[in-house]
Each structure stands twice: as structure tokens, then as C-alpha cells.
Structure 1
Amino acid sequence: MAKRVATEYVNASLTLTEAEMRSLTSLCGTQQLRQQIFVLENGNQEMVLEDEAGGETIRLTFERRGGRYRCSLSCRVVQPGLTDALRKMVSSFKGDAVVNRIYPGFTMVYHYLGGKVVRIVECKGDAIRTVFEHESALSAMESRYKLCAVEEEIAIVRGAVNELLDLRNALTDADRIAEIDERLRHHSRLLFALEA
């Protein structure tokens, strides 16, 4: 089986109650992650998670709206502890997400809706193949897209492309540039699919 290079959360969103926020803290503790929680203005919270094995860090900002906490997340993680914790967060707290699991030579794109995988697509070169699609996922995804989720996802992917282009322009290492070019190719295919 191919070894995963990285996992990208292109567009993930979680909405939690106060009690679920405490459960989230417990979940991160069981995943052996170092965590810091900061209370910001208006009751917003920022959670910083660090993998104990490798020092990789992510920040989750939860905006408080009407007694609930909402978090939108786009990041790239390499360490298995953080990857597993994010996957469990999305599934346990019924989040929505587009997750790219990147392997050497191909990428598996997982679409989560309400914490469940509703679609899996394999991207290999220019070929895109649907591996799994939940039977009722199509109608659920269509209703989501009618609510402008696609436009938000397109904006996030475009932002990621801009960041990658800036990073590519700053690099001189040919291997890193080739890796970024591969990610840019994947993002361009994803944008094409989203805009279609």
C-alpha cells in the first residue's frame, strides 16, 4: 500500500455547541496532541494543536455565533497524529470537508458531508475517477451547492493556488518546485471540476 505524503484540508467546516467544544478538547487529549486554547474577543476561541512526534502545528479558530462555535479550516498536515485527529474531528462532530490525501503519483479526494464520506475521487495525472459515491449524496451535494458552498470552495482553492504560486516564486530548490507544480496541477483540476 502506498505511503501517504500529506493530507490537505481544502475546505473543512465544523459547528459545535459549548458541550461539544469540551468534547473536542478531550478528543485532542486522547490523540496525544499538545494543545493550547486561547479565548479571544466576543467569546471566540483559538485552539493550537501540535503533534508531539514532530512539532507540526495547526490553528483552529472558532467564531462564536448564537451560542455555537463555527470553525472553517484549510491546512496541510504531514504528521499522522494531527491527520488522524482532524479526521476524527470531522467525523465525530459531523463536519463538512474536502480532504486531499496525497500519495506518490496520485491523490485521493474525500468529500465529507455531515461527518460521513459521501464521495471519493482518485486523481492520477489528468485522469479523474470516482471510486465511491453514496447513493443519496448527489442530491445532498446539489442542495449544498445551491447554498453557495461551491463559490466558497472555489475562493478557498484560488487562495491556496495564490499561496502556492507565491511559495513557488520564492523557491530555488527544483524538487520543492516540482512538488508545488504537482499540487498546482491538482488544484487546477479541482477548480475546473468545481467551476463546471
Structure 2
Amino acid sequence: MAQRLATVYVQTRLTLSETEMMEFAQWFAEQQINMQVKVTENGNHEMSFADDLVQEGLLTFERVAGGYLFHGTCRFTNPKLANAMRKAVSMYKGDAIVHRIYAGYTMVYHYVGGTAIKIIESKAGEEKLVYEYKDTLGQLQRLFDKNHVEAAIQVTNIEINELLDARIVCTTELEKAVIDRQLAHLTKTLFTLEA
């Protein structure tokens, strides 16, 4: 098995509440990872990780309304720390582009909402798609919704045609006015459905 040289979180976005921020720090402590948390004057949290007295990574969580936001890049060479960060991104539904660097190639992972949606192998300038998430259930639901709308359009068209036929045989202006109001309503409905 190839040995990973480094893991680089190229674009990472984690949004944590006050409680989640404490849980996040506790998570790394439970993984027996050396970590120091520094709270700055403006309320930001800086988390630094060390491996054998060598600083491994720094995460700065910016204080925002209702919680904390980390948006940035970090690099880990310690596999244990990289694995803990991967699990944290998943647990806290983070978004990230992660490069797992091996000798001769790089695996690029795209996370959205804590789930890997795409994995690409990059080797000698060539990229090969290894995995891509397919939202089959969502696609089927959208197809069903689309068919549902098409059926509603058909029904509305039939109702409009029936009202137009009824308007032709109307004998009083009052009957025509009632039908015209119904036609106006159905026309708006049809316009909305076709949009």
C-alpha cells in the first residue's frame, strides 16, 4: 500500500456553533492529538497541532454571529491528525477540497456537506475520475415532479379549452364575465406551471 506523504486541505469551510466548537476541540483531545487552543481578543479561536514538538497545522476559527467559521487551508503530514480532520469535516458537515499526496500521484477529494461527492486521481498532469456521487433518488424525484407539472399543464389546457367553448355559446354578458375571470385565473396558473 502506498504511503501518504501529506494531506492538504486546500479549500475548507467549517461552520460551528458555540457548542460544536467545544465538541470540535474535545474531538481532537479524544484522538490523543497534541493541540493548543488560543482565544484572541476578538473571540477568534486558533487551534495549533503539534507532532513530536513540530507544529503540524493551524486552524483559525473566526468569530461570527452565532458561532465560528473556519475558511482556509491547512497541511498535515501526520496520518492520525489527517484522519481526525477528515472525520471532523464529515461530522460537522464541512465543505472541502482535499489533496492526499502520495509518491507519484495525488488523490483529490471533494466534500460537500461532509460527504465525499467526487474523487479524482491526478498523476503526471492527467486526471482520472475514480468516484462521483450520483443523487439517483433526487434525480428520480425531480423527474417525477417534472412529470407531475406536465400533467397539471395538460389538465389546465383542457379546462381552458372547455371554458373557451362555453364562452362561444354564452348568451349574456354576465356569463361571459364569469368565464373571463375563470380564464384569467387559469391563464395565470398555466403561465406559472410552464415557468
Cα separation, 2, equivalents of 1:134 and 1:60? 28
2:189 maps to: none
Q: Percent identity at matched positions?
A: 45
C-alpha displacement of 1:71: 0.4
TM-score by structure 1 length? 0.65
2:58–2:74 CA contact under 8 A, matched in 1: no
Aligned partners of 1:110 and 1:120 also within 8 Å: yes
Contact 1:50 1:82 in 2 (8 A): no
Q: Distance in 2 between matches of 1:78 and 1:56?
A: 10
| Equivalent residue, structure 2, for 1:17 | 17
Q: What's the offset of the Cα at 1:54?
A: 6.3
- Structure 1: where are the runs of 5+ without partners? 140-196
Task: State how far apart, in whole Å, the 1-side matches of 2:77 and 2:35 are.
Answer: 17
Query: Cα–Cα, structure 1 residues 5 and 57, in superposed 2: closer, same or farther, change >3 Å?
Result: closer
The residue aligned with 1:28 is 28
Following superposition, the deviation at residue 67 of structure 1 comes to 1.3
Contact 2:56-2:78 within 8 A present in 1 as well: no
Q: CA deviation at 1:82?
A: 1.6
Matches within 5 A, 1:3-152: 3-51=3-51, 53=52, 55-136=54-135
| Deviations, residues 14-43 of structure 1 (Å, cap 9, x unaligned) | 000011011111111111111211111332
State whether residues 35 and 50 of structure 2, in contact with CA within 8 Å, keep that contact through their aligned partners in structure 1.
Answer: yes
* Paired residue secondary structure (1:5): strand
Provide Cα deviations, 1:124-177, integer angstroms capped at 9, x if missing partner: 11221111000139x9xxxxxxxxxxxxxxxxxxxxxxxxxxxxxxxxxxxxxx
Letter in 2 for 1:11: Q
Equivalent AA in structure 1 for residue 30 of structure 2: T
In the alignment, residue 36 of structure 2 is paired with which amino acid? Q
The answer on whether the counterparts of 2:47 and 2:60 sit within 8 Å (CA) in structure 1 is: yes
Determine if contact 1:11/1:99 at 8 Å carries over to the other structure: yes
What TM-score results when the alignment is normalised by the length of structure 2?
0.66
Aligned residue pair count: 137
Unaligned runs of 5+ in 2: 139-195
Cα distance, 1:116 vs structure 2: 0.5
Larger Rg: 2
- Once the 2 structures are TM-superposed, how far is the Cα of residue 65 of structure 1 from its aligned partner? 1.0
Instruction: Tell me, yes or no, if the aligned pair for 1:97 and 1:112 is still in contact at 8 Å.
Output: yes
Report runs of 4+ in structure 1 exceeding 6 Å deviation: none
Q: Give the match for residue 151 of structure 2.
A: none
